[in-house]
């Protein structure tokens, strides 16, 4: 299924969250990742995020759609794709 995750976490936890999400999803913006995950993968992502964040302070919102076809996506400005793997 299509998954979009946006997060707002304490600065000391950002690197951990980002490094973890990068294993499953594509970084699309400062605080957003997207990609295709199975239900099992999403369950692992959910479980690990609960360990990585402070649930009383941080916020992670997971949007899912059964298929990407239900969602239109447009970019205004630059497409900030992850360049670290290209460079």
Among 39, 66, 84, 87, binds a second copy (CB under 8 A): 66
Residue 62 binds to a second copy (criterion: CB under 8 A):
yes
Residue 54 binds to a second copy (criterion: CB under 8 A):
yes
Other beta carbons less than 10 A from residue 49's beta carbon? 20
Cβ atoms of 4 and 32 within 8 Å: the answer is yes
Residue placing its CB nearer to a second copy in the complex, 75 or 87: 75
Q: Strands 59-65 and 2-8, how do they pair?
A: antiparallel
Q: Using CA atoms, how far apart are residues 31 and 5, in angstroms rounded to an integer?
A: 8
Residue 14 binds to a second copy (criterion: CB under 8 A):
no
Closest separation in Å from C-beta 4 to a second copy: 7
Closest separation in Å from C-beta 87 to a second copy: 18
């Amino acid at each position: 299924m299509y998954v979009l995750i946006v997060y707002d976490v304490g600065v000391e936890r950002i690197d951990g969250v980002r490094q973890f999400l990068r294993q499953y999803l594509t970084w699309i913006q400062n605080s957003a990742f997207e990609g295709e995950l199975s239900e099992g993968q999403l369950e692992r992502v959910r479980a690990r995020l609960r360990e990585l964040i402070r649930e009383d302070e941080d916020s992670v919102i997971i949007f899912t759609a059964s298929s990407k076809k239900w969602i239109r996506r447009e970019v205004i400005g630059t497409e900030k794709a992850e360049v670290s793997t290209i460079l």
